[in-house]
């Protein structure tokens, strides 16, 4: 399924976490009881999502293809205590550990380098760990990345993204050392030129924000083109290889698909000037083509 | 059942390097990893790679610095291998396109780091690990190496002879996180564990949420001893609210530490009169906590790290990532104000006992990187020595597993009859499996009556040896039963509560400063959590991306490793490197020039000791007073 279908019907499908009757009291029952109380409290809490004050409302997209009650996508609301410096990821972890351990999302490093936790937060692609609650207008609404298949809750299928990344031959093809321990030289300027492009963390935010990629499944997309830029502009690779790389980019679903809407650049959590890189490659492609005339 | 020559478990720096090396030797290799490789925590390493590649530097200086940094608990053959192989491995990375920072003449840049006699830390901005990880993943893609990503390995398929040194590893059991399928992976040649750190044992750590020590815990329960587990590195500069790392590169470039009174305490209070802020990490962490404990900390919690005087240009050129981290995770502008920092768990010096080829005492089972203990770092790792360890020992393990002859190892593995045993350790509770020893070799203590234990393999026909397929298949059945049970149970205790209790106790009691009472309290807490873990259940019944289940299985690993750390810390009644004991304020070379070894012993852990090797290729390293 995809978030696309979902968005129209989302208000209608908002539900509370289901609570089954219990027969005997076990630690699990007590915990569920606590969860139920917490869930009652969050119903009783303020109608509008105040981001000021002690708590705020976190609305999270829920879906599981095999669990009853979750097969129909819905949004769950959680009331989360506000803490100084709290990020969206912190809030999700709080909701999971205190209300509902089935709440599912990828996360690992907590410091914007593993690229696992790109979500659609209040209508924009952002990293959960890098987004301060205090920077958002509440209620905080977290959805999976648009234009990607949802596996469960906030987890999307990244396979297509990885396929596009792999499609640009994303690896250095220069010589290997012959044992004489000499590094290749690279000017500071050239290193500086590729620096921003090497910061990509494969989070997929750019691809998800791109209207073209949404309409053309074969479009390489901003991340993969940026990856190609990183190698095409690296002086350590030979000129012939650069020509080869330009051929990959100068095709129907390559650089020419980009309509310079800057959505990718706007959402990139590492501030990579993706659109500029794509534009520069278009100019390179034109130059290459002129050369062969 | 999947089948490959070599299986690499973990897709971080060591795992990727091992896979590339094995593939280059002609092996059919696959990586099985719970995260996609580019999500690995190697990507968070900031500072750099120590490599003696310049005129005026040499491998033996690197080895000497490392031995001194280890407080004479590293093994000389391991340290010398690291120092000798690192230059070639580092240059190899450059030839794979790694975007190192550059000098005016186009050569790769190096900078000073703590405890180094030469500025040999090769770096790529303050994001060296990110570039190292991505560069090697690119090479994995180039070579078409198969990656099973988001597959969680929950058990090693190991035979169950009484003596662990006679056992063989034939593969692993993997759980496909996306679909919930449990499948066997058979390794014709070898399994290389490269599962990284165990920082989630603590609640203030630079480590990722995924760093739960899975490989070390699985190897331990399969019979490989854990070595020197008490030595945990607490990095002196982590952001107080999240534990995010601020690279030692900041101090390498000239950053200064101040207390609340504005004093440069590393000098003012004599913690390190020569090297100041660039003393070894253990020294700086203790100095900071001493300042805080004596009332000179800021808000009684942290100190300041100031880099403003370096100027915007230099900071942006060499430390730009630090500006982003300080802004995003502490709300501080490093160009305008000093950054708050405090010590946080960062690295495990100890781990799975291996030799310099990455081999463990179990045939066909290897380990490399942070999960392993060769031992390079001894009781304290120098900054810039973790990344070379990944590539040097990752490559060696990969080559050896693929069948390359690397010669006779100088480091022995496995238990020797002559090793000294620890019988006098006074523990308040019994460590190990709940219910004491069992003959179960394999994982988890989760076996139910319905499942066939792997010990059946031995009893089948007495002398008959179980085939490799049988060993893997039995492990698979074992894990299927375990996972079904966790998913079907609908009451009990949940892992989040247990994990919090464990992490808090470890941070409270087994931190930078340790004493007997605290260590014993920790053992009692661990025991309590262990007993409650018997009733653990998973609330989420789904087979689809069940992270609740993964965290619950990880919890078992955290428990076993927390206990190993604490037992080692209690046994070692001296002060060496990162291990400080209130009652024992000196390094005791007469008694303690030996590794702490912990054998699972089928559920009743046993401590013993293995001598340190100080004889190097040319000279013997003489333990000296360690001052900076």
Asked whether B272 and B618 are in contact (CB, 8 A), the reply is no
Are A183 and B245 an interchain contact pair (Cβ–Cβ within 8 Å)? no
Quote the minimal CA–CA distance from A102 to chain B in Å. 5
**Whole-number Cα distances in Å, A232 to A169, A258, B160, B443:** 11, 18, 53, 48
Interface probe with A: pick from B21, B36, B149, B487, most Cβ of A within 10 Å: B36
Alpha carbon A264 to its chain's center: 11
Q: Residues B369, B374, B378, CA angle at the centre, nearest 5°?
A: 100
Q: What residues in A contact B130, CB-CB < 8 Å? A: 113, 199, 201
Which residue reads 């750590």 in tokens? B205
Residues with Cβ within 8 Å of residue B524, at least 6 apart in sequence? B428, B429
pLDDT at residue A52, as a whole number: 56
Rounded to whole angstroms, the Cα distance separating B552 from A202 reads: 28
Are B496 and A176 an interchain contact pair (Cβ–Cβ within 8 Å)? no
pLDDT at residue A124, as a whole number: 97
Question: HSE-up of A22 (CA within 13 Å, CB side)?
Answer: 16
Question: HSE-up of A250 (CA within 13 Å, CB side)?
Answer: 18
Domain spanning A159-171+188-292: CATH 1.10.40.30: no
Are A26 and B492 an interchain contact pair (Cβ–Cβ within 8 Å)? yes
Asked whether B51 and B120 are in contact (CB, 8 A), the reply is yes
Domain locations along chain A: 3-19+29-156, 159-171+188-292
Quote the minimal CA–CA distance from A293 to chain B in Å. 32
Token duo for residue B359:
């081999």
Identify which of A27, A162, A191 has the shortest CB distance to residue B99: A191
Rounded to whole angstroms, the Cα distance separating B121 from B520 reads: 39
pLDDT at residue B437, as a whole number: 59
Rounded to whole angstroms, the Cα distance separating B563 from B530 reads: 10
Q: What residues in B contact A201, CB-CB < 8 Å? A: 38, 43, 130
Size of interface A-B (CB pairs under 8 A): 181
Identify which of B99, B494, B547 has the shortest CB distance to residue A198: B99
Which residue reads 């190697």 in tokens? B42
pLDDT at residue B466, as a whole number: 79
Interface probe with A: pick from B13, B20, B102, most Cβ of A within 10 Å: B102
Rounded to whole angstroms, the Cα distance separating B74 from B293 reads: 31
Identify which of A27, A85, A112 has the shortest CB distance to residue B492: A27
Are A108 and B209 an interchain contact pair (Cβ–Cβ within 8 Å)? yes
Q: What residues in B contact A151, CB-CB < 8 Å? A: 178, 544-545
**Whole-number Cα distances in Å, B366 to A45, B33, B395, B452:** 55, 16, 12, 27
DSSP code string of chain A: -BHHHHGGGTTTT--PPP----SS--HHHHHHHHHHHHHHHHHHS-SS--SSSSEEEEEEEE--TTSTTTSS-EEEEEEEE--TT-BHHHHHHHHHHHT-TT------SSSSSS---EEEETTEEEEGGG-BGGGSPSSEEEEPPTTSBEEETTEE--HHHHHHHHHT--S--SPPP-SS--PPP--HHHHHHHHGGGG-----HHHHH-HHHHH-TT--HHHHHHHHHHHHT-TTS-HHHHHHHHHHHSSTTSGGG-----HHHHH-TT---HHHHHHHHHHHHHHHHHHH-
Domains, in order of start, for chain B: 233-344 (3.90.700.10)
Which residue in chain A has the smallest CA separation from B317? A192
Phi, psi of B413 (to 5 degrees): -120, 165
Which residues in chain B land under pLDDT 70?
Answer: 436-465
pLDDT at residue A290, as a whole number: 84
Nearest to B260 by CA among B338, B181, B168, B335: B338
Residues with Cβ within 8 Å of residue B385, at least 6 apart in sequence? B50, B66, B69, B82, B376, B377
Token duo for residue B194:
């490269």
Q: In what order do the strands lie in the sheet with A124-127?
A: A74-81, A55-62, A140-143, A118-121, A124-127
- Residue A47 confidence (pLDDT) above 70: no
Phi, psi of A53 (to 5 degrees): 95, -170
Are A27 and B535 an interchain contact pair (Cβ–Cβ within 8 Å)? yes
Phi, psi of B198 (to 5 degrees): -130, 25
Q: What percent of chain A has pLDDT over 70?
A: 79
Helix (H) or strand (E) segment spanning residue B395 = helix B386-401
B228: left (phi over 0), alpha (psi -120 to 50) or beta: left
End-to-end Cα spacing for chain B: 54
Are B542 and A67 an interchain contact pair (Cβ–Cβ within 8 Å)? yes
Average pLDDT, rounded, for chain B: 94
For the stretch A99-123, pLDDT in tens is 999 999 999 999 999 999 999 999 9
DSSP code string of A202-248: ---HHHHH-HHHHH-TT--HHHHHHHHHHHHT-TTS-HHHHHHHHHH
Alpha carbon B40 to its chain's center: 13
Please state, as a whole number, how many other Cβ atoms lie within 10 Å of the Cβ of residue A185. 14
Q: ipTM of the predicted structure?
A: 0.93
**Whole-number Cα distances in Å, A137 to A45, A123, A126, B154, B310:** 17, 11, 14, 42, 37
Quote the minimal CA–CA distance from B299 to chain A in Å. 15
Identify which of B106, B130, B540 has the shortest CB distance to residue A102: B540
Tell me the pairing of strands B372-373 and A155-156: unpaired
Identify which of A85, A174, A195 has the shortest CB distance to residue B99: A195
**Whole-number Cα distances in Å, B183 to B153, B176, B188, B473, B481:** 10, 8, 16, 9, 13
pLDDT at residue A174, as a whole number: 72
Token duo for residue A49:
């999502």
Are B244 and A111 an interchain contact pair (Cβ–Cβ within 8 Å)? yes
Nearest to B254 by CA among B322, B301, B205: B322
Nearest to B149 by CA among B39, B41, B40, B34: B34
Q: What residues in B contact A171, CB-CB < 8 Å? A: 96-97, 138-139, 141-142
Q: What residues in A contact B146, CB-CB < 8 Å? A: none
Which residue in chain B has the smallest CA separation from A130? B328
Q: What are the b/e assignments for B187-213, b being 16+ CB within 10 Å?
A: bebbbbbbbbbbbbbbbbbbbbbbbbb
Identify which of A84, A104, A199 has the shortest CB distance to residue B545: A104
For the stretch B196-233, pLDDT in tens is 999 999 999 999 999 999 999 999 999 999 999 999 99
Token duo for residue B433:
């499996």
Asked whether B15 and B33 are in contact (CB, 8 A), the reply is yes
Average pLDDT, rounded, for chain A: 85
- Residue A30 confidence (pLDDT) above 80: no
pLDDT at residue B281, as a whole number: 92
Are B94 and A184 an interchain contact pair (Cβ–Cβ within 8 Å)? yes
Interface probe with A: pick from B545, B546, B549, B552, most Cβ of A within 10 Å: B545
Rounded to whole angstroms, the Cα distance separating B402 from B190 reads: 8
Rounded to whole angstroms, the Cα distance separating B472 from B480 reads: 12
Identify which of B127, B208, B546 has the shortest CB distance to residue A109: B208
Nearest to B325 by CA among B124, B126, B43, B114: B126
Are A182 and B106 an interchain contact pair (Cβ–Cβ within 8 Å)? no
Q: What residues in B contact A158, CB-CB < 8 Å? A: 36
DSSP single-letter state for residue B169: E
DSSP code string of B444-455: TT---TTSPPTH
pLDDT at residue A293, as a whole number: 59
Q: What topology does CATH give the domain A3-19+29-156?
A: Ubiquitin-like (UB roll) (3.10.20)
Rounded to whole angstroms, the Cα distance separating A217 from A284 reads: 24
Interface probe with B: pick from A113, A144, A160, A161, most Cβ of B within 10 Å: A113
Question: Hey, which residues does A156 pair with through a beta bridge?
Answer: A150
pLDDT at residue B396, as a whole number: 98
Interface probe with B: pick from A111, A166, A244, most Cβ of B within 10 Å: A111
Identify which of A66, A102, A236 has the shortest CB distance to residue B97: A236
Exposed (0-12), middle (13-18) or buried (19+): which is B292, by Cβ within 10 Å?
buried
Helix (H) or strand (E) segment spanning residue B141 = helix B128-142
Are B138 and A171 an interchain contact pair (Cβ–Cβ within 8 Å)? yes
Quote the minimal CA–CA distance from B46 to chain A in Å. 11
Quote the minimal CA–CA distance from A142 to chain B in Å. 18
Are A108 and B35 an interchain contact pair (Cβ–Cβ within 8 Å)? yes
For the stretch A123-155, pLDDT in tens is 999 999 999 999 998 799 999 999 999 999 999
Quote the minimal CA–CA distance from B95 to chain A in Å. 6
Are B95 and A184 an interchain contact pair (Cβ–Cβ within 8 Å)? yes
Which residue in chain B has the smallest CA separation from A24? B491
Nearest to A148 by CA among A136, A159, A134, A132: A159
Helix (H) or strand (E) segment spanning residue B365 = strand B365-367
Instruction: Tell me if the bond preceding A114 is cis, omega within 30° of 0.
Output: no
**Whole-number Cα distances in Å, B239 to A14, A162, B170, B536:** 38, 32, 43, 33
- Give the active site residue among B167, B281, B581, B626: B281
Mean per-residue pLDDT, A20-30: 41
- Residue A43 confidence (pLDDT) above 70: no
pLDDT at residue A41, as a whole number: 42
pLDDT at residue A42, as a whole number: 41
Is B281 tagged catalytic? yes
Rounded to whole angstroms, the Cα distance separating B538 from B222 reads: 25
């Amino acid at each position: 399924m995809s978030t696309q279908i979902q968005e129209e019907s989302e208000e209608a499908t908002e539900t509370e976490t289901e609570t089954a009757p219990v027969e005997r009291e076990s630690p699990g029952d007590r915990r569920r009881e606590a969860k139920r109380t917490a869930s009652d409290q969050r119903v009783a809490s303020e109608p509008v999502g105040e981001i000021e004050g002690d708590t705020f409302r976190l609305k999270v997209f829920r879906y599981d293809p095999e669990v009853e009650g979750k097969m129909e996508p819905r949004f769950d609301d959680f009331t989360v205590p506000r803490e100084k410096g709290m990020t969206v990821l912190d809030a999700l972890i709080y909701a999971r550990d205190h209300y509902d351990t089935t709440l599912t999302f990828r996360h690992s490093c907590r410091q914007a380098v593993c690229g696992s936790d790109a979500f659609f937060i209040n209508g924009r692609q952002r990293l959960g760990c890098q987004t301060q609650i205090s920077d958002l207008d509440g209620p905080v609404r977290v959805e999976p990345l648009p234009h990607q298949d949802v596996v469960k809750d906030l987890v999307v299928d990244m396979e297509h993204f990885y396929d596009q990344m792999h499609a640009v031959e994303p690896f250095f093809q220069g010589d290997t050392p012959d044992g004489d321990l000499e590094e290749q030289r690279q000017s500071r300027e050239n290193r500086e030129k590729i620096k921003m492009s090497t910061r990509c963390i494969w989070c997929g935010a750019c691809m998800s924000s791109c209207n073209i990629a949404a309409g053309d499944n074969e479009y390489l997309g901003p991340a993969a083109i940026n990856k190609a830029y990183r190698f095409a502009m690296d002086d350590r690779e030979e000129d012939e290889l650069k020509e080869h790389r330009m051929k990959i980019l100068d095709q129907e679903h390559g650089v020419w698909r980009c309509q310079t809407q800057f959505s990718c650049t706007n959402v990139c959590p590492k501030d990579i000037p993706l659109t500029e890189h794509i534009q520069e490659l278009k100019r390179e492609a034109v130059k290459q083509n002129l050369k062969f005339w | 059942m999947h089948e490959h020559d070599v299986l690499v478990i973990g897709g971080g720096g060591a795992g990727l390097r091992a896979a590339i090396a094995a593939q280059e030797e002609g092996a059919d290799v696959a990586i099985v990893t719970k995260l996609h490789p580019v999500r690995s925590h190697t990507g968070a390493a900031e500072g750099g790679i120590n490599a003696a590649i310049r005129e005026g530097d040499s491998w033996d200086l690197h080895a000497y610095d490392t031995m001194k940094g280890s407080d004479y608990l590293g093994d000389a053959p391991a340290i010398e291998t690291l120092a000798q192989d690192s230059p070639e491995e580092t240059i190899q990375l450059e030839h794979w396109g790694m975007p190192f920072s550059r000098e005016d003449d186009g050569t790769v840049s190096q900078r000073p780091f703590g405890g180094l006699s030469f500025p040999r830390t090769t770096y790529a901005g303050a994001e060296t690990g990110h570039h190292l990880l991505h560069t090697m993943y690119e090479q994995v893609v180039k070579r078409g190496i198969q990656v099973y990503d988001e597959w969680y390995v929950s058990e090693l398929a190991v035979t169950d002879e009484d003596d662990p040194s006679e056992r063989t590893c034939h593969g692993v059991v993997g759980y496909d996180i996306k679909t919930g399928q449990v499948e066997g992976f058979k390794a014709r040649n070898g399994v290389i564990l490269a599962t990284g750190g165990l920082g989630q044992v603590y609640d203030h750590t630079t480590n990722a949420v995924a760093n739960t020590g899975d490989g070390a815990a699985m190897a331990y329960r399969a019979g490989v001893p854990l070595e020197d587990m008490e030595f945990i590195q607490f990095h002196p500069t982590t952001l107080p609210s999240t534990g995010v790392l601020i690279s030692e590169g900041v101090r390498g470039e000239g950053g200064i530490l101040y207390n609340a009174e504005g004093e440069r305490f590393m000098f003012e209070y004599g913690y390190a009169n020569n090297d100041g802020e660039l003393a070894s990490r253990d020294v700086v962490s203790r100095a900071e906590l001493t300042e805080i404990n004596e009332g000179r900390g800021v808000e009684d919690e942290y100190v300041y790290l100031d880099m403003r005087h370096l100027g915007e240009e230099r900071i942006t050129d060499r430390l730009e990532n630090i500006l982003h981290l300080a802004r995003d995770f502490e709300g501080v502008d490093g160009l305008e104000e000093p950054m708050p920092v405090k010590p946080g768990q960062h690295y495990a010096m100890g781990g799975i006992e291996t030799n310099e080829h990455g081999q463990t005492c179990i045939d066909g089972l290897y380990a490399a990187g942070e999960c392993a203990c060769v031992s390079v770092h001894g009781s304290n790792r120098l900054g810039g020595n973790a990344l070379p360890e990944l590539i040097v020992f990752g490559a060696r393990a990969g080559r050896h597993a693929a069948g390359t002859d690397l010669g006779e190892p100088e480091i022995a593995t496995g238990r020797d009859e002559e090793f000294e045993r620890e019988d006098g350790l006074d523990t308040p509770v019994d460590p190990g499996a709940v219910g004491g020893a069992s003959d179960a070799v394999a994982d988890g203590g989760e076996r139910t009556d319905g499942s066939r234990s792997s010990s059946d393999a031995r009893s089948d026909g007495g002398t008959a040896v179980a085939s490799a397929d049988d060993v893997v298949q039995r492990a698979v059945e074992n894990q299927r039963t375990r996972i079904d049970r966790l998913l079907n149970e609908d009451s009990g205790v949940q892992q989040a509560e247990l994990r919090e209790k464990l992490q808090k106790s470890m941070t409270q009691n087994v931190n930078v400063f340790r004493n007997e009472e605290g260590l014993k309290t920790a053992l009692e807490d661990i025991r309590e959590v262990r007993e409650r873990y018997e009733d653990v259940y998973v609330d989420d019944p789904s087979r689809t991306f069940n992270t609740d289940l993964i965290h619950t299985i990880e919890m078992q690993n955290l428990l076993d490793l927390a206990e190993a750390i604490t037992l080692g810390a209690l046994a070692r009644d001296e002060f060496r490197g990162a291990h400080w004991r209130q009652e024992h304020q000196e390094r005791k070379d007469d008694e303690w020039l030996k590794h702490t070894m912990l054998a699972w012993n089928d559920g009743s852990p046993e401590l013993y000791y293995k001598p340190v090797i100080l004889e190097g290729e040319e000279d013997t390293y003489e333990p000296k007073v360690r001052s900076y």
